[in-house]
Amino acid sequence: MNKNSDFWKKNFTWMHLVAMAVGLLLAMLYWYKSGQFSDNILKNNPVLMALWGLATGYILIDLVKSSKDRDEKKE
């Protein structure tokens, strides 16, 4: 297996994909409810809100996963 394939398997697990989908869903829900009428450029643009939701979902689950892995490694 090559190095590039190992990178994708390590950094994009099913938990990451689920968290990114939930982040995207919540970001779009927020944009629909209150962001589309805002003057803030991040809240006003649905593409930027989608990217923000994807990034937030990925980062949050990555933090949880790395913390869990670190705790398991200590034991």
Each residue of 8-54: pLDDT tens digit?
A: 777 788 888 899 999 999 999 988 888 777 777 777 888 888 999 99
Residue by residue, what is the 3-state secondary structure of 14-75?
HHHHHHHHHHHHHHHHHHHHCHHHCCCHHHHCHHHHHHHHHHHHHHHHHHHHHHHHHHHHHC
**Binning pLDDT at 50, 70 and 90, where does residue 75 land?**
low
| pLDDT higher than threshold 70 for residue 59 | yes
pTM of the model: 0.76
Q: How far apart are CA 13 and CA 21, in angstroms?
A: 13
pLDDT of the residue at 1: 56
Q: Domain ranges in the chain?
A: 14-68
Is the CB of residue 28 less than 8 Å from the CB of residue 46?
yes
Structure tokens at 46: 């649905």
